[in-house]
Structure 1
């Protein structure tokens, strides 16, 4: 049995990461910071893609609650895009080859630019961001020693990713009533299988290039951050496996409690700012 989705709340917040470029913002760890930064570089292009994926299906969605969720999802992603453009500007000022990384993301998305392809891929990528966001919320110690501007941004982003995590999958089911369940299942799992290795691989490659360009530590630090401490990839595994369940709609019984915890943490951050 699943609980209802938490309310989706677009929050027009600004964090000023652009004004605080810091290659060691994650507790003084340059390799760990670089890995998260490499993931962050992908987000503006991804968030624009997600909006393009969902908005065209609004005329086909008749459920008023889902229609509102699509609009709130798009509003959240628009605010995320703005803040992550500032984040990418900070990375450029550190000498990271952000333009090359963004071009790689644009090239990938251009290969999947039909309405349904965008929707299937959006569902898969949103589940990855949901898995990472759960880690940020469930393991607050990961961000406790981070630079305040970065910590606030990631806690805000993680909260909103969990809030809207089921929207894409619900839209997919609503707009493909004539597609057999088995076929929808195969296609959404195939999208995850296509995207996940590329996404992780690009983040690792980009982070390594950035470290080399700025005289950072060896690549071992990246593997340590990915697999051991904090172990982003390792900790993602249980949530990623949930996506392989037939009929999965992105709802988990713990999400309401997770959102409540994340909202309290964000409120505390903003109060202390």
Structure 2
């Protein structure tokens, strides 16, 4: 099995296999307003909602991979997993800080939603306590395929973060850099989750079943989180109709992913020939990570 995490396009410089490692980052959100894309109150609320979901979700990734790692005898894959764990742990820690340093300081208490996410990822999706080792192992493999399905969407969103129009609309630089740094690392490690899942149980049926579970669950949580922020917005509640109008306005402006792009990405995942390297560009991701203001600030 190959674990060279490189994307191949005729016009894309291929950096070759990329060694995955966590990067220290330094962000300052004290001057970042809740509506950090001027003139578009809904679009930043939709993006900011990810801060509610990501800390617990990525801690779940880390916990599941730490459970799987001792069972992996392929050293190349194990090394990639350790890099993935380091990056996801840093993402969880950084977005956790956003919850309190950004959302709370802008008058929005994330605690109620945070408790729900803790219940989902720690109780519902936590490790199995079944006395039979085979049942526990099967449960682990199912969770690894769920992570592979989720990571397909994080790669799609990462590619979007690197290629959207936020800067043209004078989006806040710190929040733009947060999601571009995170998105670039998602593109950089996009092959790992798929390779881990296939290593434990290469099955088109498992892949399809995981996606059929992940897609509705993800849409439900994204919708619920966006509503949570919209209804608690200190500038005034954003009603249901206004929320959808704002979403379509943002998607047309290139500030949010279009529904068509999400549907297209879902169909891509069901193709038997699917490989994660078909999403995004490794060279673009690595180039952004070398120039990210937050990564450079921490490096200094």
Compare CA radii of gyration and give the structure with the larger one: 2
- Structure 2, gaps ≥5 residues long: 7-17, 128-139
CA distance in 1 between partners of 2:57 and 2:243 (Å)? 26
* TM-score for both structures, normalised by structure 2: 0.77
Matched, 1:106 2:118: yes
* TM-score for both structures, normalised by structure 1: 0.84
Q: CA RMSD in A?
A: 2.8
Task: Give 1:57's match in structure 2, choosing from 68, 71, 77.
Answer: 68
Deviations 1:107-163 (A, max 9, x none): 332322242343222222222211111111122x32452222212211111111111
Task: Give 1:244's match in structure 2, choosing from 270, 284, 289.
Answer: 270
Matched residue, 2:213: 191
Change (3 A) 1:215 1:254: closer
Matched residue, 2:163: 138
CA distance in 1 between partners of 2:287 and 2:98 (Å)? 25
Matched residue, 2:131: none
Matched, 1:4 2:4: yes
CA distance in 2 between partners of 1:253 and 1:96 (Å)? 34
Task: Give 2:236's match in structure 1, choosing from 207, 211, 215.
Answer: 215
**What is the deviation of 1:269?**
8.4
Change (3 A) 1:50 1:3: closer
- Structure 1, gaps ≥5 residues long: none
Contact 2:177 2:294 in 1 (8 A): no
**What is the deviation of 1:87?**
0.7
Contact 2:142 2:206 in 1 (8 A): no
**What is the deviation of 1:70?**
0.8
CA distance in 2 between partners of 1:127 and 1:199 (Å)? 17
Contact 1:124 1:195 in 2 (8 A): no
Secondary structure of 1:104's match? Answer: helix
**What is the deviation of 1:27?**
3.6
Secondary structure of 2:276's match? Answer: coil
**What is the deviation of 1:254?**
5.1
How many pairs are equivalent? 265
CA distance in 1 between partners of 2:110 and 2:249 (Å)? 21
